[in-house]
Structure 1
Amino acid sequence: MPGPGNVGERVRNLRLTRRLSQAQLAGHDLSDSYISLIESGKRTPTPTVLRMLAERLGCTPEYLAEGVEPEQRAHLEVRERHAHLALMGGDPATAEAGFDEVIARSDDQELTARARWGRARALEELGRTDHAIALFEELREHAERDPGRASWLPPVIALARCYHAVGDLGQALALGERAMERLRRLGLGVGQEHTEAGRILLLAYVDRSDPVRAHEIGRRLLYPEVSGDVPSTSACYQRASIRALEEGTIGDSLYFADQALAARTDSTPVQTHARLHLAAAKALLRGVMPFSKPAPSPLPGVDGAAVPQSGEYTGTDGIERPRPEVVPEAAREALDLLQGTSVLEGAEATESAIARARALVLVGELDEAISHLEGLLDTGLALAPPDEAPEAVAEPDDDLNARTQKTVLARAVLARARIAQGDVSAAQVVLRAASDQLSTLPSGRAAAILFRELGEVYELVQDMDSAASAYRRALEAAGLHAARAQEANCDLGRV
């Protein structure tokens, strides 16, 4: 454990333990009044004085400065790295425990900051997004207060991702645009920060029913305009680091310098691009026009061009949903993009599989889509309903809810495929199973989206009562309720 309190408290505690007076500790080199000022926290000893006091108190200068012996520090640094490895290996629970230990035992600001960042990422991976947001906000505030030590860009991008996950599109868009503007000022149009911020903005604009802006961002990410020789990613990071240094934002400069060094050994950030391809494919399946095509000129709302009517891209309830008029060309482009997502694992791999099945339905490859979805539902552990999960494994509620959401979505897509195939009876069986399972989910944005999806499919099978019920439950899950009828307080016939 670290020594108690600050430098002065550790000096005082050790002096009393050694039964030394302040004058004895001061010796011939220092004054007892100076020792008193150090112990009261009114003076910070220089490195030379620390070494002198440590020798007389029988400890190391590192212990006096930070409360941790060199051996303890090395252990904590190894523990922090092992926690990061656990996080990268898909074990966020173990990672969180490791980061907690480092935070509790370390007085090293840099090591603690890295552990706090890792803990926030572990909480995000565990589905405890609200707790992750609180920690990322602290990291952002610290970076903004002290830009000479830390970059605020990573926590801002992480916050945009988390706010999008909980449905706060306003915050997600504001933070994502802020990050992109910072990258533009530094001339950094490549790298994982640019790709991740753009991916979040793409999804958030789709969710806000702004397909024009989503198309603009997606096309810029997937088909960047380049002229002349294209510098390497490492060189772009290095230039951004130099510009940040010229601005005086040392934290950004150090961060991008580290990224430049990392890019020299990891020139193919495969997962970052795979996540972008998945986001772009999902956008195409939600009604965004193919990214391979330039935006129509003029854009809607510019120079007298037709503006989409209110509600064309979203329902009056404001709940996101796939647009039914997805063109086959967009679905085919989505399939091409999804070919680059094979490196994804876990929940993202499942999302990719469901998106691929939806695209197959839209291009008329019904047998392949049905075979793919039924295989996932029968054998995919990620899609297994909670009551079918192995009893020996205790899963967190958030994990069960996430798997339930994906199962319901897979069944909704399967029902669409059965309808397109002309097998309405089979579609109704699948819909009933999806509805029963969806009823186990807690209210919230995710449940509202799925109820809306089921409502659309019920309309396709002409089951209007079930469709109306699904739409009503979507509103209730989103926190909206029908207004209660009230008696008139006047004689309306005489008004």
Structure 2
Amino acid sequence: MDARQADLLRKIDPAELGQRLRAARVAKGMTQTDLAGADVSVGYVSRIEAGQRRPNLQVLTDLCFRLGTPVEQLLMGVAPQELEQINLNLDFAELSLESGEPQAAELQARDAREAAEAAALKEHTYRARFLVARALEAQGLIDDAVIELEALLTPRVGNVLQIKVGLALVRCYRTSGDFSKSIEVGEMLLEHLAETPLDSTDEAVQLAVSMSLAYYFRGDVAQAVRVCRKAMAKAEKLDSPVARASAYWNASIFEAGRGSVRDAVPLAQRALALFAEGQDARNLAVLRTNLGTLQLQLDPPQVDEAKLNLVQALEEMRNNSANPVDIGRNELAQARAHYLSGEFDLAEMMTVRVLESVLTLSPLTAADAKSLEGQVHAARGDVAQAATAYREAVLILTGVGSDRSAAEMWFELAGLLEDVDEFDAARDAYRSAAASSGIQARPRVKSANKLGIELR
């Protein structure tokens, strides 16, 4: 007995099976008597077609033999060769994503989705739609990816693929700057997972870790650390390299955010070693970029080591599903390494390229690139050009929402503007930094004489 066919027969709605059986019989020009043969009564065939009986697998196999129809076609509504083609397209779409070909992945996933929908294959349709969303994300089309993922999100998660949908949505919301929505979705899913065996999976740990980043970028550093520590403890119990790597990665980010770059670097290196054991090429490349960036922030900076990591990471990104923003951040870090090495022409060229590639996708990264361009001009002694670049960075940053990253960028720009004697602009930048971090001035109390009160 085919266990898979038996499982499908147990799950199928008898009415749906009956409709498919009748349609197949009519298509062959057979009567119920013809189909019944010597082993099954005509009345039993009639009751099957009416959805009143669920035949056992042997009876169904005999009926399909007389029809000349594969059993799977009645159980799944699709012929085996059609099902094989759908699965093949889905597998190719995943392979294309991992190979850095998101456009090809999108086309293959959409073909699979159309065929799966026509055959009413719900699980295949769900997987195809998820792959379409991943392909859109990899192309930097975050809003389009969010629309696809929102339609797939289920509050009550029943399998790992549904966790992956939630994880992708949390990540996309965070990438788009909607940190509150990212946290809302993450908390909702984690609350449900806490009551199921799925809580003990790599994907559940990664979901928590991804959500902790949203807390961090929103400015809730303490909560980010708490969520990350819980995820690290769960990862250690699972003894999963991927889960542990995700937790160490975020712990590294948080240490860097606290100003402890020397503590952050070994955590990032440990995460990198763990990721290297798995198959997640995209995250391996992004983490290697983060490590290179941290090495540039050390005092003194480890420029040569950073360059090696950044170049290798960029090569890995171009061979997998990294999006344009990830690539832009890598190239910006490389530009900063060239700046620190005194290679000003190369640094300037790369900042211009980054600015062009991410201006509409990530204004924060674009403002950072323009700021670095100003620093290159200042290093050459061209103060006027530096001031112009800093002011252009201010204009770009004005369109960015309020969060920790924006506050840090405003604060850095304020100091740079002071260096070129743009004091009014520097003061405004400091105010923007305070506003982005959520700091508000206390109400000012007027002195008694200004209120018209006679002093005695």
TM-score by length of 2: 0.62
> 1:234 Cα deviation (Å)?
9.4
1:268-327 superposed Cα distances (whole Å, 9 cap, x missing partner): 756534434545777x79xxxxxxxxxxxxxxxxxxxxxxxxxxxxxxxxxxxxxxxxx9
Q: Would you tell me which structure has more helix in proportion to its own residues?
A: 2
Determine the structure 2 residue equivalent to 1:373.
Answer: 347
What's the secondary structure of 1:96's corresponding residue?
helix
Determine the structure 2 residue equivalent to 1:255.
Answer: none
Amino acid at match of 1:25: L
Determine the structure 1 residue equivalent to 2:6.
Answer: none
2:27, 2:240 → 1: CA distance? 59
The gaps in structure 1 that reach 5 residues or longer are 237-262, 286-326, 387-398, 475-491
1:350 aligns with 2:350: no
Determine the structure 2 residue equivalent to 1:402.
Answer: 361
1:132 aligns with 2:132: no
1:267, 1:76 → 2: CA distance? 27
1:77 aligns with 2:73: no
Would the aligned equivalents of 1:84 and 1:95 in 2 still touch at CA under 8 Å?
yes
What's the secondary structure of 1:367's corresponding residue?
coil
Would the aligned equivalents of 1:384 and 1:403 in 2 still touch at CA under 8 Å?
no
Determine the structure 2 residue equivalent to 1:308.
Answer: none
Determine the structure 2 residue equivalent to 1:411.
Answer: 370
Amino acid at match of 1:410: A
1:214, 1:421 → 2: CA distance? 40
> 1:61 Cα deviation (Å)?
1.3
2:175, 2:387 → 1: CA distance? 31
> 1:167 Cα deviation (Å)?
2.2
1:63, 1:142 → 2: CA distance? 32
Which aligned pairs between 1:147-162 and structure 2 lie closer than 5 A?
147=158, 150=160, 152-162=162-172
Amino acid at match of 1:83: A
1:22 aligns with 2:38: no
Amino acid at match of 1:21: T
What's the secondary structure of 1:385's corresponding residue?
helix
Would the aligned equivalents of 1:373 and 1:410 in 2 still touch at CA under 8 Å?
no
> 1:161 Cα deviation (Å)?
0.8
Would the aligned equivalents of 1:79 and 1:98 in 2 still touch at CA under 8 Å?
yes
1:31, 1:10 → 2: CA distance? 19
2:359, 2:44 → 1: CA distance? 61
1:318-371 superposed Cα distances (whole Å, 9 cap, x missing partner): xxxxxxxxx96578489977864532425323313324655887xxx3735x44
Amino acid at match of 1:30: V
1:187, 1:335 → 2: CA distance? 43
1:201-227 superposed Cα distances (whole Å, 9 cap, x missing partner): 453233122345556777999999989
Query: Which one is further off, 185-194 or 60-69?
Result: 185-194
Would the aligned equivalents of 2:149 and 2:169 in 1 still touch at CA under 8 Å?
yes
1:117-148 superposed Cα distances (whole Å, 9 cap, x missing partner): 3222112223333443344345442862xx3x
Coordinate RMSD, CA, aligned: 5.4
Determine the structure 1 residue equivalent to 2:385.
Answer: 426
> 1:52 Cα deviation (Å)?
2.1
Would the aligned equivalents of 2:72 and 2:80 in 1 still touch at CA under 8 Å?
yes
Residue 117 of structure 1, aligned match among 93, 109, 130: 130
> 1:376 Cα deviation (Å)?
0.8
> 1:414 Cα deviation (Å)?
2.2
Amino acid at match of 2:313: V
Residue 283 of structure 2, aligned match among 254, 257, 272: 272
Would the aligned equivalents of 2:190 and 2:208 in 1 still touch at CA under 8 Å?
no
2:328, 2:96 → 1: CA distance? 21
What's the secondary structure of 2:313's corresponding residue?
coil
Amino acid at match of 1:424: V
Relative to 1, partners in 2 of residues 1:160 and 1:212: Cα closer, same or farther, differing over 3 Å? same
1:29, 1:233 → 2: CA distance? 56
Determine the structure 1 residue equivalent to 2:356.
Answer: 385
Relative to 1, partners in 2 of residues 1:360 and 1:91: Cα closer, same or farther, differing over 3 Å? closer
Would the aligned equivalents of 2:335 and 2:348 in 1 still touch at CA under 8 Å?
no
The gaps in structure 2 that reach 5 residues or longer are 1-14, 245-273, 319-323, 434-450
Would the aligned equivalents of 1:199 and 1:279 in 2 still touch at CA under 8 Å?
no
Relative to 1, partners in 2 of residues 1:54 and 1:190: Cα closer, same or farther, differing over 3 Å? closer
Would the aligned equivalents of 1:332 and 1:359 in 2 still touch at CA under 8 Å?
no
Query: Which one is further off, 16-25 or 331-340?
Result: 331-340
> 1:164 Cα deviation (Å)?
0.9
% identical equivalent positions: 26
What's the secondary structure of 1:343's corresponding residue?
helix
1:217, 1:44 → 2: CA distance? 49
Amino acid at match of 1:91: E
Amino acid at match of 2:92: H
Would the aligned equivalents of 2:303 and 2:341 in 1 still touch at CA under 8 Å?
no
Which aligned pairs between 1:40-55 and structure 2 lie closer than 5 A?
40-55=50-65
> 1:418 Cα deviation (Å)?
4.0
Aligned length: 378
Would the aligned equivalents of 1:412 and 1:453 in 2 still touch at CA under 8 Å?
no
